């Protein structure tokens, strides 16, 4: 979600729903409707519309690797991998960077701590973390009004459209603090502690990766565990999700896809100033852990999404209700940002569509839960190409496929991918 503000996110899922160990290569090929088309996973004739939409979407944009998982009434009914390159095979279990879909994970981890009585959403972050600005600077008094809840609802007061996103200001921070790249979380926090918020906390919604960076550090401070360890022990393991992990900036996990972009830039992993491919070093996956650092497969993500359907031992009904609760401000055109999810009440207020999108160089993702009992996850290994076509169009494409299903299948593939 590095290129978008919250207003631009409003196009996703709702308006349509209400109506119905290495690095990758930078491809020079353009979109090619005749590209080789390969699929993996079990084909389901009743759901062929989803395959057709993915094929059209990927070939029009020259995307080499994609993945889709679909659930209906809690059952995994489709899990597919897609590729448009002869030498590449994408399995349903292949791993992709999921970018800002990570925010629902971080918010859920915070809610788990709240549920266990170890944290309160109303606690100011300054009561938990030491927020100290650089020498000679003074921390703005408004920091004391930045609560944990406001961090998660993008109400902390920072607006990257006005002052830049500090998680993409590595060279600026390195120079200002006199520290080497690759930066640490503490460097970003110290730099930001010396800057004034753009708004009084709680008064205006502005999408903030930095708020989730702070939330990740709160999880570590309160739990006494690393961010990843806490998430895996308290959230993923009980759900039998074993493939998800924090991604790396250069190396790949076993089964992880390579990422593609037409762009290059200067590395932020050291101070050499070397030019690198955009997905491999123009941003730090380590810095982005809690706001955009996870890797997963599409089946992993819809399994994760299923957890939000009903209260459980992981998150009870009270916790889920807090996740969907309206913020103190920021309701726009019928939707709002809850805790780690975007939310649009539908069906007279008795149901809701919830979703999130993700975007980093080499990554475009979407995770959707619908009031009608469907969910889907789409993952791609690029977000830009010579076609210039929108990647947000995948939302409408998936709704078109869903609305075309005449009879949903009764099988459930979850046991095939989780044990």
pLDDT in tens, 100-136: 999 999 999 999 999 999 999 999 999 999 999 999 9
Looking at 272-276, 345-349, 364-368, which range is the least confident one? 345-349
Query: Which residue from 348, 166, 364 is spatially nearest to 356, judged by alpha carbons?
Result: 364
pTM score, whole prediction: 0.94
Q: Which residue has the higher pLDDT, 23 or 14?
A: 14
pLDDT band at 348 (very low <50, low <70, confident <90, very high): confident
Per the DSSP assignment, residues forming a β-bridge with 264 are 277
Span 239-254, average pLDDT: 98
pLDDT digits (tens, 9 = 90+) for 356-406: 999 999 999 999 999 999 999 999 999 998 899 999 999 999 999 999 999
26/361 Cα distance (integer angstroms): 11
- pLDDT for position 349: 65
Query: Which residue from 226, 247, 227, 245 is spatially nearest to 290, judged by alpha carbons?
Result: 227
The b/e string for 138-169 (b: 16+ C-beta within 10 A; e otherwise) is ebbeebebbbbbbbbbbbbbbbbeeeebbbbb
235/108 Cα distance (integer angstroms): 8
DSSP conformation class of 335? B
- pLDDT for position 347: 76
Span 29-57, average pLDDT: 86
163, 155 in Cβ contact below 8 A? no
Residue with tokens 């961010």: 227
pLDDT band at 182 (very low <50, low <70, confident <90, very high): very high
352/324 Cα distance (integer angstroms): 9
- pLDDT for position 34: 54
Residue 412: is its pLDDT beyond 70? Answer: yes
Q: How far is CA 359 from CA 211, 220, 310, 365, 380, in A?
A: 17, 25, 28, 6, 10
Does the N-terminal peptide bond of residue 182 adopt cis geometry, omega within 30 degrees of 0?
yes
46/410 Cα distance (integer angstroms): 11
Span 271-289, average pLDDT: 98
Q: What share of the chain is helix, strand, coil (3-state, %, to 5)?
A: 35, 15, 50
260, 381 in Cβ contact below 8 A? yes
Q: How far is CA 215 from CA 102, 227, 279, 366, in A?
A: 12, 10, 25, 22
Chain centre distance of CA 250 = 19
Residue 179: is its pLDDT beyond 90? Answer: yes
Q: How far is CA 297 from CA 102, 113, 239, 255, in A?
A: 13, 26, 14, 10
DSSP conformation class of 71? E
Kindly state the tokens that stand for 107.
């918010």
Largest CA distance in the chain: 66
- pLDDT for position 31: 47
- pLDDT for position 25: 30
Residue ranges of alpha helices (H) inside 75-159 are: 102-115, 148-152
| Residue percentage of the chain with pLDDT more than 90 | 89
């Amino acid at each position: 979600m590095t290129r978008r503000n919250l207003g631009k996110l409003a196009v996703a899922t709702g308006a349509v729903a209400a109506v119905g160990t290495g690095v990758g290569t930078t491809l020079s090929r353009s979109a090619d409707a005749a590209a080789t088309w390969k699929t993996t996973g079990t084909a389901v004739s009743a759901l062929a519309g989803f395959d057709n939409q993915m094929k059209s979407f990927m070939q029009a944009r020259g995307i080499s690797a994609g993945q889709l998982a679909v659930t209906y009434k809690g059952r995994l009914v489709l899990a597919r991998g897609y590729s448009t390159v002869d030498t590449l095979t994408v399995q349903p279990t292949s791993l992709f960077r999921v970018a800002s879909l990570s925010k629902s994970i971080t918010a859920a981890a915070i809610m788990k701590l709240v549920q266990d009585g170890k944290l309160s959403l109303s606690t100011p972050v300054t009561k938990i973390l030491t927020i100290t600005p650089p020498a000679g600077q003074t921390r703005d008094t408004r920091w004391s009004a930045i609560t944990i809840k406001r961090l998660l609802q993008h109400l902390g007061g920072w607006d990257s459209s006005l002052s830049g996103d500090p998680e993409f200001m590595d060279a600026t921070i390195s120079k200002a603090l006199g520290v080497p790249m690759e930066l640490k979380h503490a460097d970003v926090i110290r730099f930001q502690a010396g800057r004034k918020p753009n708004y009084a906390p709680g008064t205006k919604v502005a999408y903030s990766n930095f708020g989730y960076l702070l939330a990740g550090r709160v999880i570590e401070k309160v739990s006494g565990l690393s961010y990843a360890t806490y998430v895996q022990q308290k959230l993923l393991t009980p759900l039998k999700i074993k493939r998800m992990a924090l991604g790396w900036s250069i190396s790949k996990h076993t089964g992880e896809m390579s990422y593609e972009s037409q762009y290059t830039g200067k590395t932020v992993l050291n101070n050499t100033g070397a030019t690198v491919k955009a997905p491999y070093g123009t941003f730090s996956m380590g810095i982005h852990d809690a706001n955009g650092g996870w890797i997963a497969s599409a089946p992993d993500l819809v399994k994760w999404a299923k957890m939000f359907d009903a209260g459980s031992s992981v998150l009870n009904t009270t916790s889920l209700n807090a996740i969907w609760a309206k913020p103190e401000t920021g309701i726009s055109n019928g939707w709002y940002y809850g805790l780690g999810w975007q939310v649009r009440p539908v069906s007279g207020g008795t149901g809701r569509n919830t979703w999130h999108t993700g975007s980093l160089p080499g990554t475009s993702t979407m995770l959707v839960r619908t009031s009608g009992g469907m969910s889907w996850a789409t993952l791609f290994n690029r977000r830009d190409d010579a076609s210039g076509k929108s990647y947000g169009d995948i939302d409408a494409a998936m709704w078109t496929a869903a609305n075309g299903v005449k009879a949903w299948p009764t099988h459930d593939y979850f046991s095939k991918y989780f044990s």
